[in-house]
């Protein structure tokens, strides 16, 4: 079964080959991720000698892959093509260089099983091809039984074996292994309720195993199974014991070897490494007895943001290379990665490290495109959540590295990181020094109001590739045309509305009390907390007014809101995040929600300004003590220049506003020239959404230029507020008392951070 992961085959091969041929694309096994870095000091467990580079690809026409495996000195691909209701099962054999050597059509003699689409396939130790079919009732299409059909390696029909009726969830997900003992191993069912069945070669059921999430044959012929616990939140690896008709020896995977917190699966290994562990980041060879392991492939270092489509369950590795499949439409490409010389690569390429608390599309896309488009520098990624329980543990791991002076050259700054505290200790480099000394770029090429928000005491310790604006919108007749209002304005508006009017909601759902506090704070947290100076301002009338305004909202709610509710002026105002210049950002609200012109008014404040804030989802910093600051700057420079103009499917900010003016202007042009044309589009309900014009675009530009606050490191501060605020809402304390307690606690927290 093929998982839809990745890009098309042609795109995949083109992405890798865009690197100049003179540059060898290699993987340094023990140094790329945190887990392997920890094991680099253990020479008995980690092999550093395998490096793989793209060699070539071979393409065949096929609709669905049933099996991809190695048999003796050939690579075998079993699959079928389908035309109308007719399917043809084929076997493709490749030599060990990846070239197609033989194509065989499996005979349709021996029964009418071929009228049902096959589910999966396997090759036994004699080279025979076995294919599973799920028989259906012709009238009702209901599942009746499973049939296992065998062909010789030249496509001649041998026999059919009925396996009877198995799990009713098997029609879309089955794994098949024909063991060295001749037994048939099938794993099927829902993801957390999969059952393993073991049959003899005649179709007699020997035993069943519950909660088997995966099965895999090791290179030596043993069959292992991963069993989940009752709740499905953890798993253990066992050898299947056919004599004892159950699970046998238990194996413990080295958690430091690979990251198993995310998606992964097992494949048959080779040589010393009897199993492959395949993740979205890398492919590892692993010995389950000795725990020796090696990184064979690392996608980002190859300039690939994620594995190719067809990667799932379709990978073969051997001493000479690694093969995987790339699926696109009715074709499959066999991608061949071959063993290469590490020494050549290390002489040509400077390797630097990017550290992040966790993986993200931003990390994957930016590192992959940089590694693909740039020669001479390779970015390797260190993820701090590998082996950690959650993001807080990941932050602790990062801070321990910080104390030890073992910081990556580039840091992806998380919202939970105290940037100003790090900067005040001299840990981050001032990026203005790089910008001002680089002849290729200047500050004027960027949104200056946004750069200003990223500054600390006039220095630029972090920079973002993009930003989002959090704001409130309301009818011009209610809030005027300005971009800000006071608490007095806000209360005057509410007092003019009927009793029971809900002040603020999202476009599709109501807002909870906790949600209101978070959104109101997130737009302007820098007004309340000065991390650089180590002071806060919560015992103020402004914050007390914010606490009081939240009291109108329920503690929890999942109630939906429609545009018709807004048209009835209840809710009155809408909380939105602006990520582009499209009609969905502006003229949609005018047409279907307010039925008149609206303003980006923001949340109310004491001064009437600063109620709209910028949020930075992806920020970067350079470690001030890095030996490779210039190389690190080349990566950041790439992200804020060339990368800003990438195709929308590659850039990380296709749902955010780019920081580079030329890219921002390009996005504005897209907004005024949508695919639905200049005349707008008719919506359901009789609404007409017009195409944004220059005035609409200018309103967003004006909002951008007016920004004076931003959401920043809010996690701990927000936790403190939400721990103390309920005592006001349940009547135990006054808002003033709660504000003083929050002021005291946050002040103490800031003092601890600065200490």
pLDDT in tens, 98-155: 889 999 999 876 555 555 678 899 999 999 999 988 776 666 667 677 889 999 999 9
**What is the pLDDT confidence band of residue 647, given thresholds at 50, 70 and 90?**
low
In this structure, are residues 440 and 637 in contact, taking their beta carbons and an 8 Å threshold?
yes
Give me the pLDDT at residue 188, please.
85
Structure tokens given for 314: 């379709």
Q: Peptide bond before 571: cis, by omega within 30 degrees of 0?
A: yes
In degrees and rounded to multiples of 5, residue 409 shows phi and psi of: -65, -40
**Nearest to 685, CA basis, from 578, 605, 593, 550:** 593
Q: At what angle do helices 735-754 and 541-550 cross, to 10 degrees?
A: 120
Q: pLDDT digits over 552-607, tens only? A: 999 988 899 999 999 999 999 999 999 999 888 889 999 999 999 999 999 999 99
Q: pLDDT digits over 463-500, tens only? A: 999 999 999 999 999 999 999 999 999 999 999 999 99
Structure tokens given for 234: 């953890």
Q: How far apart are CA 225 and CA 228, in angstroms?
A: 10
In this structure, are residues 205 and 264 in contact, taking their beta carbons and an 8 Å threshold?
no
Where residue 360 falls (left for φ over 0; alpha for ψ -120 to 50; beta otherwise) is beta
Greater pLDDT, 666 or 141: 666
Q: Strand pairing partners for 176?
A: 186
**Nearest to 732, CA basis, from 720, 743, 724, 722:** 724
In this structure, are residues 470 and 570 in contact, taking their beta carbons and an 8 Å threshold?
no
Q: Sheet holding 463-464: strands in order across?
A: 377-383, 350-356, 410-413, 619-622, 463-464
Q: How far apart are CA 113 and CA 664, in angstroms?
A: 58
Q: Which residue has the tokens 């701090």?
A: 384
CA separation (Å) from 661 to 443, 448, 740?
Answer: 10, 9, 43
Burial (Cβ within 10 Å: 0-12, 13-18, ≥19) of residue 126: exposed
For 267, other C-beta atoms within 10 Å of its C-beta total: 21
Q: Which residue has the tokens 């603020």?
A: 504
- Residues with Cβ within 8 Å of residue 180, at least 6 apart in sequence: 125, 221
Give me the pLDDT at residue 97, please.
84
Exposure on the CB side of residue 709, measured as CA atoms within 13 A:
24
Q: Which of 164-168, 265-269, 278-282, 476-480 has the lowest mean pLDDT?
A: 164-168
In this structure, are residues 354 and 345 in contact, taking their beta carbons and an 8 Å threshold?
no
For 40, other C-beta atoms within 10 Å of its C-beta total: 15
Q: How far apart are CA 52 and CA 341, in angstroms?
A: 9
pTM of the predicted structure, to 2 decimals:
0.74
* Range of 163-172, 414-423, 725-734 with top mean pLDDT: 725-734
Greater pLDDT, 389 or 462: 462
Q: pLDDT digits over 603-646, tens only? A: 999 999 989 999 888 899 999 999 999 999 999 999 999 888 76
Q: How far apart are CA 481 and CA 486, in angstroms?
A: 14
Structure tokens given for 112: 């009418």
Measured in whole angstroms, the distance separating CA 731 from the mean position of its chain's CA atoms is: 43
What residue ranges define each of the domains in the chain, with the CATH number in brackets?
Answer: 25-341 (2.120.10.30), 348-464+617-652+662-668 (3.40.190.10), 467-616+674-754 (3.40.190)
**Nearest to 124, CA basis, from 74, 170, 184:** 184
For 52, other C-beta atoms within 10 Å of its C-beta total: 25
């Amino acid at each position: 079964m093929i998982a839809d992961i990745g890009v098309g085959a042609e795109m995949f091969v083109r992405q890798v080959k865009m690197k100049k041929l003179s540059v060898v694309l290699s993987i340094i096994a023990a140094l790329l991720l945190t887990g392997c870095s920890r094991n680099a000091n253990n020479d008995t467990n980690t092999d550093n000698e395998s490096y793989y580079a793209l060699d070539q690809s071979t393409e065949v026409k096929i609709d669905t892959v049933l099996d991809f495996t190695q048999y003796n000195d050939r690579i075998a691909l079993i699959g079928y093509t389908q035309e109308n209701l007719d399917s043809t099962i084929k076997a493709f054999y490749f030599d060990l260089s990846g070239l197609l050597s033989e194509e065989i059509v499996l005979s349709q003699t021996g029964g009418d099983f071929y009228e049902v689409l096959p589910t999966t396939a396997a090759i036994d130790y004699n080279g025979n091809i076995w294919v599973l079919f799920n028989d259906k009732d012709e009238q009702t299409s209901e599942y009746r039984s499973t049939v296992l059909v065998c062909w010789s390696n030249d496509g001649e029909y041998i026999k059919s074996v009925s396996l009877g009726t198995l799990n009713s969830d098997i029609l879309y997900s089955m794994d098949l292994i024909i063991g060295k003992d001749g037994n048939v191993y099938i794993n099927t069912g829902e993801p957390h309720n999969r059952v393993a069945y073991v049959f003899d070669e005649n179709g007699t059921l020997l035993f069943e195993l519950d909660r088997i999430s995966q099965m895999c044959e090791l290179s030596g012929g043993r069959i292992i199974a991963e069993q989940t616990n009752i709740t499905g939140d953890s798993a253990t690896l066992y050898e299947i014991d056919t004599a004892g008709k159950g699970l046998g020896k238990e194996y413990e995977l080295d958690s430091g070897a690979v990251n198993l917190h995310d998606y992964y699966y097992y494949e048959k290994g080779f040589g010393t490494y009897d199993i492959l562990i395949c993740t979205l980041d890398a492919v590892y060879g692993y010995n389950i007895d000795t725990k020796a392991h090696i990184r064979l492939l690392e996608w980002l270092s190859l300039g690939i943001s994620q594995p190719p489509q067809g990667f799932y369950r379709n990978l073969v590795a051997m001493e000479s290379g690694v093969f995987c499949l790339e699926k696109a439409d009715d074709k499959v490409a066999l991608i061949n990665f071959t063993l290469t010389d590490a020494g050549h690569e290390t002489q040509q390429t400077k390797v630097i490290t990017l550290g992040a608390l966790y993986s993200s599309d931003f990390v994957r896309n930016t590192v992959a495109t940089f590694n693909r488009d740039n020669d001479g520098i390779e970015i390797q990624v260190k993820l701090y959540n590998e082996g950690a329980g959650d993001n807080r543990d990941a932050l602790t791991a990062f801070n321990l590295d910080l104390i030890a002076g073992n910081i990556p050259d580039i840091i992806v700054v998380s919202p939970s990181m105290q940037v100003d505290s790090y900067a005040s200790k001299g840990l981050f480099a001032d990026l203005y020094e790089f910008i001002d000394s680089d002849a290729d770029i200047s500050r004027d090429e960027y949104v200056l109001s946004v750069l200003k928000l990223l500054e600390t005491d006039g220095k630029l310790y972090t920079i973002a590739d993009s930003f989002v604006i959090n704001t409130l919108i309301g009818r011009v007749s209610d809030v005027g045309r300005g971009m800000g209002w006071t608490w007095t304005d806000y209360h005057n508006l509410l007092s003019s509305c009927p009793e029971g009017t809900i002040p603020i909601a999202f476009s599709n759902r109501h807002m909870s009390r906790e949600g209101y506090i978070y959104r109101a704070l997130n737009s302007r947290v820098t007004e309340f907390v000065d991390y650089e100076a180590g002071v806060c301002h919560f015992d103020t009338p402004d914050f007390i007014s914010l606490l009081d305004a939240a009291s109108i909202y329920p503690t929890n709610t999942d109630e939906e809101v429609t545009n018709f509710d807004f048209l009835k002026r209840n809710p009155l105002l809408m909380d939105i995040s602006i990520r582009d210049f499209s009609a969905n950002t502006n003229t949609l609200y005018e047409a279907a929600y307010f039925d008149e012109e609206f303003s980006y008014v923001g949340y109310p404040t004491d001064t009437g300004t600063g109620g709209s804030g910028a949020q930075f989802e992806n920020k970067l910093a350079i470690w001030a003590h890095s030996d490779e600051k210039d190389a690190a700057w080349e990566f950041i420079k790439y992200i804020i220049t060339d990368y800003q103009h990438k195709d929308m499917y590659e850039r990380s900010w296709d749902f955010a506003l780019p920081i580079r003016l030329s890219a921002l202007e390009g996005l504005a042009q897209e907004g005024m020239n949508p695919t639905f044309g200049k005349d707008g589009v008719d919506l359901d309900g009789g609404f007409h959404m017009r195409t944004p014009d220059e005035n609409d675009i200018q309103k967003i530009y004006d909002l951008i230029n007016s920004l004076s606050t931003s959401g920043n490191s809010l996690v701990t501060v927000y936790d403190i507020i939400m721990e103390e605020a309920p005592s006001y809402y349940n009547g135990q304390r006054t808002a003033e008392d709660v504000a003083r307690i929050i002021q005291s606690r946050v002040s103490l927290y800031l003092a601890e951070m600065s200490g």
